[in-house]
Structure 1
């Protein structure tokens, strides 16, 4: 079967990401995608390796985009300013691309490409946290802590978990500042 003219991986990916951002990642099925693209489901197999392959491509794209947004935010910054900026970039990404963000968390059992893409985010965060003179294990604990804070905040916000009428960005800023105060107590002696 020859591929449909005008249909390519980019079109399929963009459509899948649009569905995920509007309706959630679970709404991205091959049937839904085919219907949205006005094609028959088997036509998708000329371009992608099934739903698992599509979700892996989406996850990889999402990790690359998240990395780039965080890296761009960190340019010219260091220390507390860099941590605050990458934190805000992370939350901004989750807010603006909820389905794509979700895909980065539900990546299929790590292919080499996904491991590398996730590793770049860890490396970026680790480099920023070296300003605090943390020892090797302490850097990893700090990276995990920051990710947990940011993911928890993003998840609660996406699920409508913050019902009180207070500025969410102010809450996030206070949370990151509390994290920063904590890692400063972990410095090498």
Structure 2
């Protein structure tokens, strides 16, 4: 019999919390069962396996991050939109390191196409419309922004910026200013 109150949604949210506490790679069906003080077998009526659990966490985190970014950029344009997008991304990664790691989890093409990952790309392209980039420059810019933001937050959350007196926020502002300048002055070709 299924334990009262356990649902796939409740398990996913608890697993996302576990990811933030323990690290995304440490979340397993066994660990989740311990959290609810149930036998592992009782979770299999809601989850297929650890791969399914990780996919659910990734989808949850992508949706949560997309909602946060969408709210941050609403009504903004140009550098203001770029900075709001970047700040929402960075803040999420710092507040929810395990969930952020889950957003990098490889999804099969069908699942990815139906995920909030599509919204992330659409929001990035919407911000870039303010910079008047044509293809393929717009695609290059989407990839560049994702790479820069991910690289920065990965280094920062990994402690790589703790060995210098320069404040990481100062560097972050410098990065955003530099990206804005580069995007505004980019010549086609």
* Number of equivalent positions: 188
The CA distance in 1 between the partners of 2:142 and 2:64, in whole Å, is 19
1:55/1:107 contact within 8 Å kept: no
Shift of 1:10: 2.4
Contact 1:59–1:114 (Cα < 8 Å) also in 2:
no
Deviation at 1:102, TM superposition (A): 0.3
Match of 1:173 in 2: 173
Per-residue CA distance 1:64-108 (angstroms, 9 max, x = gap): 111111111111210011001100000001011110110010133
- 1:113 to partner: Cα distance: 4.9
* Equivalent residues of 2:72, 2:84 under 8 A apart: yes
2:158 corresponds to which residue?
A: 159
Find the counterpart in structure 2 of residue 73 from structure 1.
72
TM-score by length of 1: 0.93
- Unaligned runs of at least 5 residues, structure 2: none
Q: 1:87 to 1:169 in 2, by over 3 A?
A: same
1:159 and 1:101, CA in 2 relative to 1: closer, same or farther beyond 3 A? same
Partners of 2:187 and 2:66 in 1: CA distance? 26
Assess if the C-alpha contact under 8 Å between 1:55 and 1:108 holds in 2.
Answer: no
Match of 2:105? 106
**Residues 1:16 and 1:116: Cα distance change in structure 2 (over 3 Å):** closer
TM-score normalised per structure 2: 0.93
Residues 98-128 of structure 1 show CA distances to partners (whole Å, capped at 9, x for unaligned) of 1011001013333335554212101111011
Provide the C-alpha distance between the structure 1 equivalents of 2:181 and 2:124, rounded to a whole number of angstroms: 17
Give unpaired runs (5+ residues) of structure 1: none
Q: What is residue 40 of structure 1 aligned with on the other side?
A: 39
Offset at 1:41? 0.5
Distance in 1 separating the partners of 2:171 and 2:109: 33
Q: Note the C-alpha offset of 1:28.
A: 0.2
Q: 1:30 to 1:66 in 2, by over 3 A?
A: same
- CA RMSD in angstroms comes to 1.6
2:185 corresponds to: 185
> How do 1:87-166 residues align onto structure 2 when only pairs under 5 Å count?
87-113=86-112, 116-163=115-162, 164-166=164-166
- The question of whether the paired residues in 2 share the 8 Å contact of 1:78 and 1:131 is answered with yes
